Structure formats: C-alpha cells, structure tokens
Amino acid sequence: MYLKFAALATVAAVWTTTAPVPANGAQIEGPAASGGPPNQGSEETIGDVDIPSSRQRAHDIIVNGRRVNADILTTYPGGQVGTGARNGVLGNIENGKSPFSTSSYSEQFMLDRQADTASEALALEPSVRATQGTGAPFDSFYIRGYPINEGTSGEIAFDGTYGVAPSFRIFTDYAERVEVLKGPSAALTGMSPNGGIGGTINIVPKRANDDLTRFTFDFGSTLRPGAQADIARRIGAGDAWGARVIAAVRDGDTPYDDQSERTVLGALALDYHGHRVRAWLNLVAQTDRFDAPLRPYFASAGVKIPGVPDGSTNPTQRWEYSNVDDFGGLLRMEYDATDHITLFGTAGARRSDVDRYFASSRVIQNDRGDTTTSPQLYQMRIEAYTFEAGVRARFATGPISHSLVAQGSYYDEDTTRYLSPVATTYRSNIYAPSRAHYSAPAESGDRPRLSDSTLKGVSVADTLSALDEKVLLTIGARRQTIRAHNYTSNVGTLSGSYDRSATTPFVGLVLRPAKWVSFYGNHVEGLSRGDTAPAQASNSGEILAPYVARQIEAGMKLDFGSIGGSISAFRITRQLGELGRTNVYAQTGEQRIRGLEFTAYGRATARFGILGGLTLLDGELIRTEVLANKGNKPIGVPKIQLNVGADWDIPFATGLNVSAAVVRTGRQFVDAANRQALPAWTRLDLGLRQTVDITGRQVTIRGAVSNVTNQKYWSGVASFGTFFQGAPRTFSLSASIKM
C-alpha cells in the first residue's frame, strides 16, 4: 500500500519537475477544473480566513502570478457558504446555473462552529441528519431520508473521488469545504462504494491558496486540549508551486462518562500550475482512538422506547475500545490540449485499519431500560484503489454553446476481517450503568477475506446553453458495472457473488429569466449495489441484484448578491430487501419519499447573517412483503427537519460576533411496523467570536455552547433500527493566531 503511495508521489514529482514554468506574470489559458490558488483581487477578512469578495467563478479569473483557484467557487458575504459546489462529473457549477440541489460549507463556517468532524460541519444542513453522535468512532448520515456511510466501505468523496477519504470519520482540519449534492447521484459521481443513494458528501481539500501560518488551540468541556498548525506557501516563478502542511492533535476526556479520545492527523497538499499543465497531490493520515466509545441502542421487539438518559451517561465499559488508522492519497493532473479541450486523470488509494473490542449495539430488553451487551473483537483492513480519466471540451454549434465531458472510472476494494466469538454478555441499565469485569476475547493472527468489489463506469454528459446562459440543458448517462464477492466470515470461502451492469441517465434544465432567479428541474437515476441476505435468512450471504433509485425534482433558486435561497420539491423511490414469509431475503419492497426543501444563506444586512432551512418529508413504504407494513413510515424518516442559524456583528464592539442556532427533528420510527418511535427534539446552540490585532498578528477567540438547555433526546436512527443518544450541554473554546 505505502509503496503505491510512494509511486504516486514519484509520478507527481516527475510530472511537475518536467512541466514548463512560464515567466512571472504569464497568463493561464484554458479551464482549470480541479484546484489551485485563488485570485489576488480584493478580499474581505472574516475571522481568520480571507474571503475573495468577487462573485466571479474562480477558474475564470486570470491574474498575475497564476493565482487561479478552480477547486472551489467563492462564498456569499459572511464567508460561510459557497456560491456553488461540485456537481459530480459536471464539475463546479454556480447555484443559479445548476439543475441540481447542492450546499457548500466553508472553512470559515467550520472554524466558527468549532466543527471537528464532517458530521458537525453539517449541523445546519436541513437535508442531512447524523445517525451517530460525537462520542462514537463513526460518522453516518441520512440525506433526504436515505442512509449513507453506514457500512465499512466509506461513502464520503474526497475532491470528488471515492476511495481516498478515511472510511469512518472525517476531520475538518484538512477540509476547505464540505459539500452536499442532494439526491441519487451515482450517474453524476459514480456509484458509491456501499450503495448509498440519498446524496453525496464531498470533502474539498485545503491547498496553498496563499501564504499562511496559523496556529489554533482548543479546549472542550472536560479540558480535552487540542492544537493545530496550518502552514501554506507559494514559491517559484509566478508562484507556480504550492505546498500546505496541516498537523493536529487532540487528547483527553470527553463529555461522556469514562470516555477518552486521542486524535492525531497530518495532511500534505502540493500543487503546480504551469502554462497548460496542472497537478495536485494530497496525502492524509490520521489515527482516532477511543476508550469506552459510545454505541447505539436497539430495542427488542414489543419494547416501548424508554425515556432518554442524561446525555453524559455512557454504559460502555472502560475496557472497551476502538482504534482506527487511515491513510489516503490522491494525485490529480490536467493538461490543456487546446484552449477548449482539457485532458484529466486521477489516481488514489486508501487503507483503513480497525482494531476494536465492543458491541455493535446494546439491546434494550424492557421499558425500565435494562440492557444486554455482547462485545466482540473486530479486526479489519480495507484497501481501496481508484482511477479516473477523461476529457472536457467546450465548443459551439450555431447559437448553442456546449460543455461536453466524457469520463471513465475504476474502483477496487478488498476487505479482510476477523470477528471473535462473544466472550461475555453483560447486563446494565441505560440510567444506571453497571461495571462488568474484563473478559479477554479469543484472538487470531489471521484476517480472512470478507468481501471484494470492483466498480467500473463510463459517463458522458453535455450541457447546452443558449441566450447568454438564460437556458441551460444538461443531458447525460453513465454505464456502470458492479462485480462483487462475499466470503464466509472468519473462513474466507466464497458465499455469494454477482457481475451486473446497468445504464442510468440524467437530465436537468435551468431557466434564468433574470440574474437573481432561476428555475430548475431534473430527473436522475442512481445505481446501487444489492443488499446482502442476513444470517437469519435461508439464503444467507446471497447478494441481491443491483437496484436503481430514481429522483424527480423541481425548484427555484434566488440570488440577491448578498443573500440567496432556494425552494425545491422532490420525489425519490428505491427498492428494499426484505425477509419474507418463507424466510427468503428478496427485493420485494419499495420505499418512496416526497419532500419540500427551503434554504436561506448570506447576509440579510451588513451585520446580520442567516443560514439554514426547512425540510419536510413524506416517507412511505409503498410496496412490502409484510402487508401490515404497507403505507407505514420508513425507518428514521421524520416529517420535519429544521435548521436555523443566525449571527450578528455587534456594532459597538469591533470584531465581536454572536451567533445562535436552533435544530429540530420530528418523530422518527425505529421499526418498519411503526410501533417504536423516538420523540421529536429541539436543540439550541450559542456562539461568540472576537477578532483582535495583537502586535500585528490577527488573533481570533471563539467560544460556543452546544445544547444550551441540556436537552435529553434520542438524536438519530440508522436504517437497521439502531438509535443514538444526543450529546449533553457541551462547552468549547478555541484561539487561532494568524502569523
């Protein structure tokens, strides 16, 4: 694995060393669709991040010294959200020109929220709900009522590519943006490794946009200290070369009883911008170690969901642990064959090593909250490799302009695992946890193969524009091939396999009668790998055929320069695997979710900013083997998801900003029979930011209180019916020094 990363780095070095370096001040010709330093035009400083004030698309800016950033679009005033996001194979598109619904949260937003993980960075995204909490070693989500990142494959993209980002938990230290492309998007992004269909979360990595030296120190409620160094430099003729190094460590007790966490990470970003050649290399390494990690609950059939315990309560034993190490890298290169044709390619890889001893969930046995827990030793390695190549071309046919892209992709993943027998089952209670004696698990020096999969695809898309981009029509399709094998746990013998292909189309239309408003619609399909029959099924281990999820969406987007928003309506359908009356697991079910989304972002006035929205969901099981469940609500899909945030620059105190956010989630069912439900909940967060100049150095101090009222609540539900407790009142404090 490490040798392959060394090979990628060598290729990058050879490429950039032999690439021509034009004289200082030379222009860049042609589009740069993947990344680089931004323009040197006028900027506003918000907190300790410089925000380009131009609303122009970054890759259209040509300035002295090659200061071009095509990796991200600029932000709305206030610096919290981007004016657009990556739309899969279509590249970066401004909100008003995209036929799809996207969100993009900036580094400034993450710093001000003191969001350490991607899950925390999406706290104000109304289409997203996290299904595991901050004290767990994994991040998983629902987007538009459908789960993603619930498996071990890792379904969060890194710079638009799967198979690079850490499998289980993403830290924001190395993220410039966290983007969300909503709805089934496999036709745009390629099929996600675990088949998630609700949308795509993409991490835009930090790069050397400008020279930067910044140190950040932070503390949590229980004085869990942390420190980060973030250093970037541009060098060479015309600042053609860039390097950014990020290192961070956090270690100490968390707000949960008996829990501690140690996180260490490092990231390196290198880039080169020549006359026609561009190259980027990103490497990320991290380790995340928990003692007594939080685990979700599962309620036995017929048991009413009990009241929520205190948020700091942790029934996990002190001797249960989770150790996860991740290492990933991505090399991206582009070459402008002409002013209108660009060739591009990527190569990436990731390795995740997991060593943990805990139970996947604890089972609630009765209304009193008594539980049983059966820990198992779980040792896993996941290795993934990914490659992409393609061409982008711009041309015109009469009055119609075209932006054509063709791309081929290859993704390969291998998983090995050892799962020990249950050594002990201990009893406890969610309100008064008991302590159990340590029982050593049976260990093995071998990790037999558990699964492997290969995803191959070819995409072609064309965006046709007319009348000065007042009308934009996007059409495209993706041919996807899935080859997968499952193996008997702890044995390694083949238990199931398939090799299937399908073609999924997409079409999107944007009408822009004025610059401040656009109307859009889309039909998009996403291919997902079939479910695997569970152990209790008579066909256990069988992999079901791939299925296609379909979305129809229409809406309106508004952009008034300093503030923007959107209104959208959508419908998503997908097939479901079910255990039928004959004990055979088959795709006999179908789920439909209809929804309305409202979003708003930017500055309502020069000093007052807003961010958030409302998602209304109407989920239904429209076809099911169990007739009594037909018409029921799907697991984990509430009727309402509300996120409202606001911040205010205090006029009589220079550099002082206060913020508040309210998050509400409606009732959620944890079973398909709709007999067990989590009550609705509401949370209030408050924040404070002060920016001062000390001896010529910019210092930003941030303080925040999450869950101000110390609300007790069940926060989220995974698709298999496990649910998580919400975090208690939590305090955080940080100080950033920009040298």
What are the pLDDT digits (tens) for 186-199?
889 988 898 888 99
Give the residue-averaged pLDDT of 674-684: 96
SS3 425: coil
- pLDDT average, residue stretch 295-311: 94
- pLDDT in the model for residue 143: 96
Mean pLDDT of all residues in 269-292: 96
Q: What does the chain come to in residues?
A: 739
Residues β-bridged to residue 717: 723
Q: Quick one: 340 exposed, middle or buried, by C-beta within 10 A (0-12, 13-18, 19+)? A: middle
Average pLDDT over residues 674-694: 96
The pLDDT of residue 5: 39
**pLDDT score for 535:** 63
Q: Which of 678, 733, 668, 735 is nearest to 706 (CA)?
A: 733
Report the percent of the chain where pLDDT is more than 90: 76
pLDDT at 6 over 60: no
The average pLDDT across 475-484 equals 94
Q: Tell me how far the alpha carbon of residue 690 is from its chain's centroid.
A: 29
Which range is most confident: 207-211, 234-238, 555-559? Answer: 555-559
Q: Do 553 and 183 contact (CB within 8 A), yes or no?
A: yes
Query: What are the backbone angles phi and psi of residue 592, rounded to the nearest 5°?
Result: -130, 135
**CA dist., res. 430 & res. 185, Å (int):** 39
Q: Which of the four pLDDT bands, split at 50, 70 and 90, describes residue 50?
A: low
| Of 380, 405, 403, 282, nearest in space to 333 by CA | 282
Neighbouring C-beta atoms of residue 597, cutoff 10 Å? 22
What local confidence, expressed as pLDDT, does residue 37 receive?
36
* pLDDT at 63 > cutoff 60: no
How far apart, in whole angstroms, are the C-alpha atoms of residue 12 and residue 276? 16
Give the rounded percent of residues in the chain with a pLDDT score beyond 70.
Answer: 90
Q: Give the global pTM.
A: 0.90
How many domains are there within the chain?
1
Look up the domain containing 82 and give its range: 2-738
Q: For residue 498, what pLDDT band results from cuts at 50, 70 and 90?
A: confident
Count of beta carbons in the 10 Å neighbourhood of residue 173 = 24
Token digits of residue 80:
């919290």
pLDDT of residue 732: 95
Check residue 194 and give its pLDDT.
86
Q: What is the CATH number of the domain that holds 305?
A: 2.40.170.20
By C-alpha distance, which of 112, 88, 57 is closest to 180? 88
**d(Cα 615, Cα 127) in Å, to the nearest integer?**
6
Q: From CA 32, how far away is CA 334, in angstroms rounded?
A: 8
Q: In a 3-state reduction of DSSP, which class is residue 110?
A: helix
Q: How far apart are CA 622 and CA 615, in angstroms?
A: 21
pLDDT digits 0-9 by tens, 22-39: 333 333 333 333 333 333
Average pLDDT, the chain: 88
* Residue 14, φ and ψ in degrees, nearest 5: -65, -45
> Alpha carbon 135 to chain centroid distance?
18
pLDDT confidence band for 391 (50 / 70 / 90)? very high
579: pLDDT confidence band, cut at 50, 70 and 90?
A: confident
Per the model's pLDDT, the better-predicted residue between 611 and 543 turns out to be 611
Average pLDDT over residues 440-466: 94
Which stretch of DSSP H or E encloses residue 395? strand 376-397
Q: What is the mean pLDDT of residues 654-660?
A: 95
Q: Can you tell me the mean pLDDT for 81-87?
A: 94
Q: Give the pLDDT confidence score for residue 72 in this predicted structure.
A: 65
203-212, 218-227, 480-489, 635-644: least confidently modelled range: 218-227
- The band of 223, judged by pLDDT with boundaries at 50, 70 and 90, is confident
Q: Residue 535 in 3-state DSSP?
A: coil
Cα separation, 191 vs 729, whole angstroms = 38
Q: What is the pLDDT of residues 580-620, one digit of tens each?
A: 778 788 888 899 999 999 999 999 999 999 999 999 999 99
Q: Which of these, 672, 723, 34, lies nearest to 346 by C-alpha position? A: 34
Average pLDDT over residues 112-132: 95
Phi and psi at 445, nearest 5°, equal -85, 0
Element (H, E) at 6: helix 2-18
